[in-house]
Amino acid sequence: MCITRFMVSYTSQVAKSHKKFTAQLSRAKTRQACLNAYWKHKKEHEVLLRRHLKEELAQVNKKKAKMAYK
């Protein structure tokens, strides 16, 4: 299967996101600031995962298209 440039950087982007979240959480002084850091991180994580899974599904469909029906 072909690995796209985004897939290679997916894990590094997730690691960067977690690092940023950890920093925000450690700087948080209130309960609300903790929750805000979590919600922002969750949204970012969902976007990354959605994009990653979309590219994987495209790979699967490409491979499937080359196979004959049985």
Instruction: Record the tokens describing residue 1, joined without a space.
Output: 């299967």
pLDDT, residue 62, reads 95
More confident of the two residues 1 and 60? 60
* pTM for this predicted structure: 0.76
pLDDT score for 6: 55
Whole-number Cα distances in Å, 14 to 3, 33, 42, 68:
17, 21, 11, 37
Whether residue 58 has pLDDT greater than 90: yes
Domain ranges in the chain?
11-62
Report the run of H or E that residue 25 belongs to, with start and end: helix 5-27
Residues 60 and 54: their CA atoms lie apart, in Å, by 10
Q: What DSSP designation does 30 have?
A: S
What would the pLDDT profile of 12-56 be if each residue is shown by its tens digit? 999 999 999 999 999 999 999 999 999 999 999 999 999 999 999
Q: Are 24 and 37 in contact (CB under 8 A)?
A: yes
